[in-house]
Structure formats: structure tokens, C-alpha cells
Structure 1
Amino acid sequence: MQRLHLHLLSDSTGETLEMIAKAALAQFENADVVRHFWPMVRSQQHLDRIMSEIAAHPGLVLFTLVSTEIRARLEQRCATLGLSSVAALDTVTDALEQQLGQEAKGRPGRQHTMDEAYFRRVDAIQFTIAHDDGVGWENWEQADILLAGVSRSSKTPTSIYLANRGFKVANIPIVVESPPPHSLFTLRRPLVVGLTTSTERLIQVRRNRLLSLNQAPETAYVDNDHVTHEVQFARRMFADNGWPVIDVSRRSIEETAAAVINLYNERHNIRAGGSSEPGRDSADWKGPIA
């Protein structure tokens, strides 16, 4: 199989370009791709230094560069080397310009400006980190979302992903031997979502976790009967309280988070009859999502 060197050049943090590349590469099985990441490319001198590395590892060049001078220089250098270069956002930007009747503002990193949404996201991340794994239950009413599930049901990574989208998230492990705080069942503001998974998948994840920690992989933590009881106990709790449930067995973190956001938006649309934003008060909403 031929190896492909994929060069990603951005005049900002490169997060958008990385997501585009990741989504596209997911369509190719067993592709041998080496990614080279070049963020904050804002001068021709910087570009020239990168071009020497690209020449040493020729491949496909994807870029999100606003400066017409730097773009032209990159495209010229790539053409000289016989390499393909693709402006990842041009097609979308051109279509938006036509539909909106205005030109895009050519400012590097414009999507990362430190506006109100930026500070809300930072606040959400700080809240989420401080309320991981059942910590800080006294402040759960301040959360937008609370994730509940047995150990290793992807609560923490999903919480962090949602926090990066601006949601204040708390999460709590459901443990048969240790009932959660009573406040979990009286919350009004946060959307409580139960995360569940198949017994087989959960045992596999837990066993791999134990092995990574050099711990004995044969304990009650991975015992089939014990794990089955845990999963059933959690599912019964979710059902008794009318909480929406997401099965994460075959979902990526991104897919699970997207499902949670859909539930959150549906809840707010039911309440307010319109779109919602993280942090909006929802204290007068009660009951499960249909």
C-alpha cells in the first residue's frame, strides 16, 4: 500500500482543517496516511520553511489560508513540485458569498475571536472539569446537561466534548453499591441523559482498562453477571425517572455528543418554541423527552 503524506496548513489553530481531514479520511479503510500539521502560517518566511519539509515529504496539501499573497505563493510552490494543493473551504465560502450577497472577511482565525461565545465555552470547560465523576454535586443545578451511566460508559470524554461546544456538563457514575445523591432526582434545570452500553462491550472496555493499568483482569469489575446487573440497575433508574437514554455501544464520542445536543435542543424547542443556546434557563421544564 502506498503511503500518502498529507500536509495541513492553516493561518489559525488548524482545528477546522483537522476535522475536515479526519472526516474525509474516515471514508478510506486502512489508508496509510502520515499527517503533517502546520498551524499559524501567517508569513511568507514561515511558509518557505514549511515548503522545505513538504518537498522532503511530497504529498497532498490541504490549506485554509486567508492571505492572497501566501496562498498564491503556496500554490506556485506546490505546482513547481508537482503537488496538488486544495483550499478546503473555498467551495463553501464561494457558495455563501453568492447566497448572502457579500464578500467573506479575510481575517485569519476569525472563527476564534474572543467574543461572548468564546468566554462561555471557557467557562463551560472549567465547570465540566470541576464536576467530573460525581464531584461537586451541590452545583449540579447550574449545569446545562448531566450525564449518568455505569463506569466506562464514555461519560467523561463526552462531557469534555460537549464542554468544548459551550455546554456546562456534569456527570456521575451509577454504582449499585453506592446510590447517587438525592439531588440527582430533583434537578429541574439540567437535562439528565442516561448513557448505556451492551454488557459485552462494557466488559471489553473495562478489561482493556485494567490491563493498561497492569491490574488483574479477572475481578467483579469485569464479571459478566455483575456487569449485567450494573447495566440493568442503571437502565431501571433511567426508566423510573423518565430520563432519555443513549446507547453508546456503537457510537463514537462525537456521535454520542451529537445525540445529546439533539435532545437538549428538542427539550428547549418544546419549552420555548424555538432554538436554544447553552446556559439559557430551563427551570420551568419538567418531564422526559418524548
Structure 2
Amino acid sequence: MHGRHTAFGTVGDKSLGKSGNFFHLHMVSDSTGETLMTVARAATVQYEDVQAIEHVYPLVRSQKQLDRVVGEIESAPGIVLYTLVDPDVAARLERVCLDLAVPCVNVLEPVFKIFQSYLNVAWTGRIGGQHALDADYFGRIDALNYTMLHDDGQVPGDLNEADVVLVGISRTSKTPTCIYLANRGIKAANIPMVPDIPLPPQLDEVTHPLVVGLVASAERIQQVRQNRVLALNAASYQNESYTDRRQIAHEVSSTRRLCAEKGWPLIDVTRRSIEETAAEIMALLRDHRAEEM
């Protein structure tokens, strides 16, 4: 078991030194630590000019594994968040934090209490139960395999097997959005809209999937495309229209017009994160499935 150290919201130690307004955040988990990181980052971003130096300790399931954690908390005191099922391991961590006068919180305890009170059943104390190799897990793997196989317009012949098909011009975050959806068990394909290249005819024949168009402002797409060209070191990039603002504006207009003609919902991703875009798509998908029933 090894702790992972990151400076969330910063770029290296230099930026921390400039602000000086940082704190140590220890996250101790008997599973992967993903729950703790999600909660901690959701809380941290609510405080301006405050940056957390993260210490992540996954798979802490014994007193011996806790020894290293205790040593690091003693050498760098700070807020301690944990999800530990073993009561003895959790109790020792609580005692250490009390002795050091640092805050220590079991982030799931209030949730467990509410569930137990409402459901009137005892909790099982399963470690990492959310990562069980059950039907949902293998469903997510199947969705991810489908999504990777159908990225960027590949294998259009079986688009009707998708749950969602995303349509949009280059740099509208189609691929990362599809991958996020696949991790939620949703089979997602994406079709690029390229000037002077027709969309695959199979797209007009689909009956099962929800088709969603993605757009962004011309300024945003131009910026992302220019960065893309620079990242690829494409100094001799011949297709100048790829980063031409007027051409991009025309592509955006074409996307909007096509979605209006087809009756496809359209999402502007200019100021949206991947997670926010995916959340709206999942809401649209629920409505779409309800209409199919």
C-alpha cells in the first residue's frame, strides 16, 4: 500500500509557494479511494485560493498498512477523510487524529445511518462492494468495448445496437463523452461531421438509439483546434480551413440546421464539462426510453 501525493488545483510546487494558502488532505480507504477523492474535490473547489495537497492511501485493510498512513499524517498534519469498514482500524485512525488535534471524518457514516434508519436493516460492511464483478460490471465492460469499436464513425453497420449516437464536428468532445457514458453502462457511438463528406446512411435508418448533436461556439472550437495542431507539431498543416473561424462557424451552423431538420436534441458544450454534458444526455436517454415503452 502506497500513498499517492498530488497537488489538486495546482501545477507543481512552485504555484503552491506563490499562494502559500495550501493544506494537507489525507484520504484513507480500504477500497480504491475514488469516493473520497470525488467528495474531497467537490468540497475543495468551493473555497477560492485554497489548494489541497492530496495524500491518497487505497487498500488500507490492516493495522500494519495503517502504520505508514499514521506516520505520514504525523509528518504532515491536515484534514483526514476516510472510508474504513474494519472498526478496529477506523478506531485507531480516529485516536491518532484526536491525539494530533487534526479533524478526522468518516465520510460515509452519516449516509449509512440514514440508510439504516430508513430501511431498518443492518449494513453488511462489504469492502469495495461497488466494484463487485456482477452483471452491471460486465454490462459496463460490454458498453466500453462497443464504444471504443464505434469511435469516430467506425463500424457504422450496427449503429442500431447503440443506446446513444453523438453527432458533431471535430473538437466537440464526442469521444470523451462517449467513454464517460460507457463507464455508466451506456453503449455510445459517435459520428463526425466533416465538410463535404456525407454522414453514413445507416444513421437515417436507426430506430433504437437516441441521436444527439453536440456543438460549441466557433471561438471555442477554433482555440481547441489550434492547440490540437500545435500539439501535433503540424507546422506544415495544409488544411487551413480546419482552424479558420468563418469555416468553423459554417460547420456549427450546419450542425444546428441538421439537428433541427432531423429533430435531434442539440447540446452546446462550450461551457460544459464532460460530466455535465453526459448528465444531460442521460436525462434525455431516460425520456427517450420512456417514449419507446
- Give the TM-score of the pair, scaled to structure 1: 0.90
Q: Is the aligned partner of 1:232 residue 2:232?
A: no
Distance 2:41 2:138 in 1: 27
Answer whether contact 2:161 2:208 (CA < 8 A) is retained. yes
Alignment-derived partner of residue 275 in structure 1:
none
1:177 is displaced (CA, Å) by 2.0
Q: Which amino acid aligns with 1:212?
A: A
Aligned partner of 1:222 among 223, 232, 243: 243
**RMSD of aligned Cα (Å):** 1.4
Alignment-derived partner of residue 154 in structure 2:
135
What is the SS of the residue equivalent to 2:264?
A: coil
1:215 is displaced (CA, Å) by 2.6
Alignment-derived partner of residue 256 in structure 1:
277
Distance 1:57 1:123 in 2: 43
Q: Which amino acid aligns with 1:253?
A: I
Alignment-derived partner of residue 175 in structure 2:
156
Q: Which amino acid aligns with 1:98?
A: S
Change (3 A) 1:242 1:125: same
- Give the TM-score of the pair, scaled to structure 2: 0.89
Q: Which amino acid aligns with 2:246?
A: D
Q: Which amino acid aligns with 2:241?
A: A
Aligned partner of 1:64 among 83, 94, 112: 83
Q: Which amino acid aligns with 2:45?
A: A
What is the SS of the residue equivalent to 2:153?
A: coil
Identical-residue share of aligned pairs (%): 47
Aligned partner of 1:89 among 91, 102, 108: 108
C-alpha deviations, 1:202-255, integer Å up to 9, x for none? 111112222222234893211111101111111111111111111111111100
Equivalent residues in 2 for 1:152-231 (5 A)? 152-216=171-235, 219-231=240-252
Alignment-derived partner of residue 31 in structure 1:
50
Q: Which runs of 5+ in 2 are unaligned?
A: 1-19
1:27 is displaced (CA, Å) by 1.4
Alignment-derived partner of residue 116 in structure 1:
135
Distance 1:64 1:150 in 2: 43
Answer whether contact 1:147 1:169 (CA < 8 A) is retained. yes
Answer whether contact 2:27 2:56 (CA < 8 A) is retained. yes
Answer whether contact 2:147 2:179 (CA < 8 A) is retained. yes
Answer whether contact 1:176 1:233 (CA < 8 A) is retained. no
Q: Which runs of 5+ in 1 are unaligned?
A: 273-290
Distance 1:76 1:232 in 2: 62
1:176 is displaced (CA, Å) by 1.5
Q: Which amino acid aligns with 1:200?
A: E
